[in-house]
C-alpha cells in the first residue's frame, strides 16, 4: 500500500508544479507593498502605475463635494451623461435631439452644461460674482482647464472649483426638473441655489 501512496504523492507533486507540500503553517504575503502586508494604499499606488494619463484637465475629487456630483462631473467631462444626443447614440428613441430650452443646438453634454443660453446666463453671472472674466468657454474641458489654472493660490482655486462643480450640478438639476417634472426654473433661481 505504501508504494501506491508514494506514487500518487509524487504524481500530485508533479501536477502542482512549483508548489511543494510542507509541514509548515500556511501564510499569506502580498508582493505589492514593501513589507509583504496588503494595504489599500499600496494597491492604489500600484494601480496608478498602470493607469494611463487621460487627456484634458483632471476632475478634482474634493471631499467637500458629494460623490454623486463628482461622478457626474467626471462623466460629463467625457460626454457620458444621458443627453438626448447620447441616448440616441445608444439606440434610445427620443422625440428630438434639439435642446428643449433654447432650441438652438443638439443637446449634448457640452451644450446642456456650457453652451445653452440658460447655462451661459448662469455661468456668466457666477463668474462675474467670483470676479472672473467668463471669457471664451465653449465646452466643459475649457471650463475645467480655466478653473484649474485660475490662481496661484490653491485655496482660491479650490473654492472656485467647488463653486463651478455646484454650478454644473445645479444646471443639470434644473434641466432635469424642466424635463421630468415640468418645473421651469429661471436662471436667477438657479444662481440663488449656487
- pLDDT tens readout for residues 6-38: 777 777 766 766 666 677 777 777 777 777 788
Q: Residue 103 region, left (φ>0) first, then alpha (ψ -120 to 50), else beta? A: left
Residue 187 contacts residue 122 (beta carbons within 8 Å): yes
Looking at residue 21, its pLDDT comes to 63
| Angle at alpha carbon of residue 128, lines to 121 and 70, rounded to 5° | 70
pLDDT level of residue 133 (50, 70, 90 thresholds): confident
For the ranges 39-43, 113-117, 182-186, which has the lowest average pLDDT?
Answer: 39-43
Looking at residue 52, its pLDDT comes to 66
* Average pLDDT score over residue span 110-130: 92
Mean pLDDT rounded to a whole number for the chain: 84
pLDDT level of residue 103 (50, 70, 90 thresholds): confident
Looking at residue 182, its pLDDT comes to 92
In Å, what is the CA distance from 75 to each residue of 33, 49, 69, 109, 142? 32, 23, 10, 9, 15
Q: Indicate whether this model's pTM tops 0.75.
A: no
Integer Cα distance of 148 and 154 in angstroms = 9
Looking at residue 20, its pLDDT comes to 62
Looking at residue 102, its pLDDT comes to 85
Looking at residue 72, its pLDDT comes to 94
Instruction: Flag whether pLDDT at 41 surpasses 70.
Output: yes
Share of the chain above pLDDT 70, in %: 90
Looking at residue 54, its pLDDT comes to 67
Amino acid at each position: 500500500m505504501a508504494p501506491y501512496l508514494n506514487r500518487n504523492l509524487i504524481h500530485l507533486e508533479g501536477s502542482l508544479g512549483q508548489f511543494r507540500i510542507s509541514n509548515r503553517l500556511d501564510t499569506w504575503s502580498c508582493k505589492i507593498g514593501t513589507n509583504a502586508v496588503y494595504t489599500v494604499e499600496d494597491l492604489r499606488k500600484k494601480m496608478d502605475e498602470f493607469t494611463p494619463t487621460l487627456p484634458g484637465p483632471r476632475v478634482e475629487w474634493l471631499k467637500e463635494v458629494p460623490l454623486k456630483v463628482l461622478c457626474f462631473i467626471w462623466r460629463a467631462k467625457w460626454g457620458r451623461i444621458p443627453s438626448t444626443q447620447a441616448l440616441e447614440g445608444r439606440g434610445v428613441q427620443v422625440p428630438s435631439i434639439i435642446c428643449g430650452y433654447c432650441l438652438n443646438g443638439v443637446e449634448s453634454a457640452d451644450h446642456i452644461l456650457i453652451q445653452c443660453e440658460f447655462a451661459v446666463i448662469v455661468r456668466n453671472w457666477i463668474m462675474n460674482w467670483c470676479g472672473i472674466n467668463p471669457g471664451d468657454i465653449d465646452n466643459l474641458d475649457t471650463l475645467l482647464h480655466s478653473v484649474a489654472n485660475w490662481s496661484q493660490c490653491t485655496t482660491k482655486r479650490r473654492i472656485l472649483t467647488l463653486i463651478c462643480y455646484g454650478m454644473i450640478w445645479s444646471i443639470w438639476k434644473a434641466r432635469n426638473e424642466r424635463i421630468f417634472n415640468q418645473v421651469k426654473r429661471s436662471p436667477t433661481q438657479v444662481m440663488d441655489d449656487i
